[in-house]
Homo-oligomer: A and B are copies of this chain.
Amino acid sequence: MARRRTERSGGGDRPRDRLPSAAWLLAQVGAHAAAKFAERLSALGLSPPHAGILWALSTSGGLSQQALAEHLDVLPSRLVALVDELEERGLVERRDNPDDRRTYALHLTSPGRTMLEAIGRIARTHQESISEGLDAGEREQLAALLLRIADQQGLRRGVHPGFRSLGRGRRRKER
């Protein structure tokens, strides 16, 4: 355990310890995948949570912020700022809900749908980049294994915290 002297040699021995466990690799590779996706996304001026919102609204338009927050596993107070930013850029609309004037009905705008397509292209590029080096069969194998774990661990589809992003200012909203 005690290493020899000659500390300063540094490169003395390789850090090629025992081989990493699946769980460790999972966390490392997963963090890398998330970070790289966020980086690509930032070219559109979006963060992963932003993309998650647009994606969710593409199939479930008219959601309230509360429902969306739960769906994405984000705090409602945080969602306010995210929707603010998307609305400022004209990608999302807060329509009044005639059935319940406390809530909004969130909808994708036409530019929002266009943006979603750009996100899709980025996601495909990202996917390709990550699984570069794996053939089709191996990719399927990997996805299947991960899906088993996800199901077994009871994972939601929300954008799991643990991502990087950008983020800017706020906005006001009077009732």
List A residues at the B interface (Cβ < 8 Å): 1-8, 10-11, 13, 15, 17, 19-35, 37, 58-64, 67, 71, 97, 99-100, 105, 108, 113, 123, 126-127, 130-134, 138-139, 141-143, 145-150, 152-153, 155, 157, 160-164
Contacts and interface: CB of A to CB of B under 8 A. Distances in A.
B31 A162 contact: yes
Contact of A32 (B24, B143, B153): B153
Contacts of A30: 26-31, 33-34
B4 A105 contact: yes
A60 B21 contact: no
B25 A146 contact: yes
16 contacts: A3-B60, A3-B61, A4-B62, A7-B105, A10-B63, A11-B61, A20-B157, A21-B123, A22-B127, A22-B131, A26-B30, A26-B130, A26-B146, A27-B34, A131-B149, A134-B149
A150 B31 contact: no
A89 to B, nearest CB: 19
4 shortest interchain CB distances as A-B pairs: A30-B30, A7-B62, A31-B160, A27-B34
A60 B11 CA distance: 6
A20 to B, nearest CB: 7
A162 B161 CA distance: 8
Contacts of A100: 2, 8
A167 to B, nearest CB: 16
Given A8-B99, A67-B10, A149 B60 contact: no
